[in-house]
Chain A
Amino acid sequence: MDYEVIVAGIGGMGSATCWQLAKRGAKVLGLERFDIPHAMGSSHGLNRIIRLAYFEHPNYVPLLRRAYRLWRETEQIAGEQLLYVTGSLDIGRSDSRVVMGALEACRQHHLDHEMLSADDTRQRFPGYRLPDTHVAVFQPDGGFVASERAICRHVMLASAHGADIRGREAIRGYDRIADGVEVTTDRGRYRARRLILSTGAWIGDHVPALAARAIPERQVLGWFQPRTPQRFSLDSFPVSNALFDEGHVYQFPVWGVPGFKIGLYHHRNETGHADALSRDATPDDEDLLRGFLARYFPDADGPTLGLRTCMFTNTPDEHFVIDALPDAPEIIVASPCSGHGFKFVSVVGEILADLALEGGTRHDISLFRLSRFGA
């Protein structure tokens, strides 16, 4: 065998996995079809929200707790801050899935939290202008992770621990062999005991069973210059996701660039193959985001600083897939994330290293099984 584990796709998930594997002494090859880091997938655009009051499902909370610990551990080793705590708000009507789900996660896992009315929210966080019909669940541990910086640090640490990581080398296919897998790329062939596929929006190209169940979707992130910058600073503006009548948006304080950052879940419902989705942002994209600024973040409604497109890869139930292939257990899949995966990459790296080296993990990943999709 050339390697113990080959990791295909060195974005958030793959980079963290290389680091966790190399840290445990495994001989690792990491392969990325684009540059490391790059702006073609789902890991770029400065930062990603991390939040504990997880409206999507309370079972994510223990994973999040471990993710926080591992982010802090990596920061310590790397000597660079990667996780910034701002607090988080989950905003919606009081009977919405966002508010009910966030409260359920808080109750089940005894998380510190506060319920805020629209007026409370405006008083305390004046960048927000919520309609009176809406409420917010404040949870003090929320914040964001510096996404490209995290990838760079994972790769640097993995390389220093002996991992062999290569950009601009695309996998063409893989074959099962005795005791492992042979991976063919556009530059060579490599044998390993295990193959981890963390190819994000391209996962359907590598795992036919996921082609119809992991659907890439175009997203657009916008940065807009606040007219009142002090209302959007790290210490005055918690990250949030907000389910308004016009759509579900997520937003960040000013960090890195002098712009308030906002995105709309399922932006314009544009789905397709990852190679075919447009990476250009248009004035229509800008207008769509601006509509939310005008209504709900009016002090952020200044000139545009930037727009970037990225991708979600959505499953039918919007939970992740983290599992070995049923008919080829030496091949482990760690995509798609349905637009909410980056915050977890520290713990997903640990889980994948567990699965590849131990054949199992102590973490509860029952939500992420392939078998839930049926045959």
Chain B
Amino acid sequence: MTFDVIVVGVGGHGSAAAYHLARRGMKVLALERFSIPHVMGSSHGYNRLLRVAYAEGATYVPLAQRARELWQALSMDSGDEVFLPTGSLDIGYADRLSVPKALASCKIHGLDHDVLDAGALRRRHPAWRPDADHIALWQPDGGLVRTERSILAHVRLALRHGAEVRALEPVSAIAAISGGGVRVTTPRTTYEADRAVVTAGAWVGKLIPELAGVVEVRRIPVAWFATRAPEIFAPDRFPVWTLDCSLGEFYGVPIDGHAGVKLGGPSSGDQPGRWRCDPDTIDRTPTDADWSPLAAVLSRHLPDAAGPPLAVQSGLITWTPDGNFAIDQVPSLPNVLAVSACSGHGFKFASLIGEIAADLAIDGGSRHDLSRFRLDRFLAAT
């Protein structure tokens, strides 16, 4: 069977790529090793934060702005509200990393924002009990992206544009065909296409030789906690947030999709190797050590949701050495694009990354600045 483009992996990025490719007239096959959606990778757990005041680097701001536009367009086109605007709060200290960096992103890109002291934070968002020396950066463009629902919205629209989407069909090999094109092998059959887009997330290192041994897959926990005061954790009163505090760096969202208040952390960026795992052999069962730091954060800073958890879930992140993504033509596999390795902060960009994947597959280039996502940065380092 022959296609224009085969998309390998139908999570956040793959579903968006399948949609943008199909919408632009490509004959698309999208293959997923599990069910659609599933809880084995990096796209489950109901929602992810979308922050525009980007502490990870001001160059991400235009990407976040375009992603936000595309999520809103997806909500319109699919009839499902996949993006929920809530604004964002970055809570931290005036002299420590996260807030000053997010503030710099606001200033460089002229984003609306407001800096609140601890008292103002408590008054405006009564769930919070910040430390006396905490400050909070409020930015109104933040919100949450509904993960599983956005995957399904992209898949529904991709199907409407004629894509073929096959679940429970794992890709075992991707090979270049001499003279052009790619061959994709599954247990069921072999497919051929002009190009392949590999959006395999935690499995990308097993399919793209350049990324094997470069990306590190880590298991990260999130948990949901019951509250007796759901109204103060509702999306209209409790914006998506990040928190730098004496317990570490954490993040969370208002009540959405689940019965409880969700949060995750502490961030593992500074602890290479600690959470390393293999996506095929990892035990995803959470432990008490996964949620006890989260319970401690709630006791101290969000006491109306303190207590034991309702649910604890493991997700996978696929980390690159510099924490930036890997979106590029694969040197060893002509006509194959790597579109993965989001280093734990990619889902918010999935709508845009789908558009970029289509740009690269169809036009061979993109108007977006992808220089920090190139694969040769890893090759140079080794």
Contact = CB atoms under 8 A, between A and B. Distances in A.
A305 B167 CA distance: 5
Interface string B237-273: 0000000000000000001011110000000000000
Contacts of B155: 258
A167 interface: yes
Interface in B128-164: 152, 155-156, 159, 164
Interface in A344-368: none
B120 interface: no
Contacts of A153: 259
Nearest to B286: A168
A75 interface: no
Given A38-B311, A168-B309, A304 B226 contact: no
B165 interface: yes
Contact of B166 (A36, A151, A303): A303
B220 interface: no
Contacts of B75: none
Interface residues of B, number: 33
Nearest to B257: A152
Of B166, B310, B312, chain A has the most CB atoms within 10 Å of the CB of: B310
Given A35-B312, A166-B308, A304-B168, A159 B226 contact: yes
A195 interface: no
A303 B310 contact: no
Using C-beta atoms within 8 Å of the partner chain, give the interface range for chain A.
Answer: 35 or more
B310 A35 contact: yes
Contacts of B255: 156
Nearest to A155: B259
Contacts of B167: 303-306
Interface string B78-103: 00000000000000000000000000
Nearest to B10: A305
B170 interface: no
Contacts of B258: 152
A37 interface: yes
Contacts of B307: 164, 166
B259 A152 contact: yes
Interface in A139-190: 151-156, 159-160, 162, 164-169, 187
A256 B80 CA distance: 10
A225 interface: yes
Of B286, B309, B311, chain A has the most CB atoms within 10 Å of the CB of: B311
Contact of B230 (A35, A160, A307): A160
B310 A36 contact: yes
B293 to A, nearest CB: 15
A4 interface: no
B168 A167 contact: no
A169 B152 contact: no
B140 to A, nearest CB: 25
Of A39, A256, A304, chain B has the most CB atoms within 10 Å of the CB of: A304
Nearest to B227: A159
A39 B40 CA distance: 13
B314 to A, nearest CB: 11
B309 A156 contact: no
A257 interface: yes
Given A152-B258, A303-B165, A304-B167, A256 B312 contact: no
A258 B155 CA distance: 8
Nearest to A283: B168
Given A36-B259, A225-B159, A305 B165 contact: yes
Interface in A295-316: 303-308
6 contacts: A32-B310, A36-B224, A166-B310, A169-B308, A225-B159, A305-B35
